[in-house]
Amino acid sequence: MSGEDNLLRLVEAEDGDENNYHLQDQVGFILRKAHQRHVSIFASQIGDLTPPQFAALAKLYDIGETSQNQLGTLIAMDAATVKGVIDRLKARGLVEVSKHEVDKRRLLVNLTSEGREAIERLIPLARAITEETLAPLTTKEAATFLRLLAKLA
Chain residues binding a copy of itself by CB under 8 A are 20-23, 25-39, 42, 51, 55, 58-59, 61-62, 75-76, 123, 126-127, 129-130, 133-134, 136-137, 141-142, 144-146, 148-153
User: Is the distance from CB of 56 to CB of 89 less than 8 angstroms?
Assistant: yes
Residue 130 interacts with DNA (CB under 7 A)?
no
Neighbours of 97 (CB within 10 A): 15
- Between helix 27-45 and helix 51-63 the angle, nearest 10°, is 80
Nearest to 48 by CA among 135, 134, 125: 125
Site map 29..68 versus DNA, x via CB under 7 A: ---x---x--xx--x------xxxx-------------xx
Minimum distance of a copy of itself from residue 105's CB (angstroms): 26
Among 11, 26, 45, 84, binds DNA (CB under 7 A): 84
How far is the C-alpha of 105 from the C-alpha of 99, rounded, in Å? Answer: 8
Give the binding site for DNA (CB under 7 A): 32, 36, 39-40, 43, 50-53, 67-70, 72, 76-81, 83-85, 88, 100, 102-108
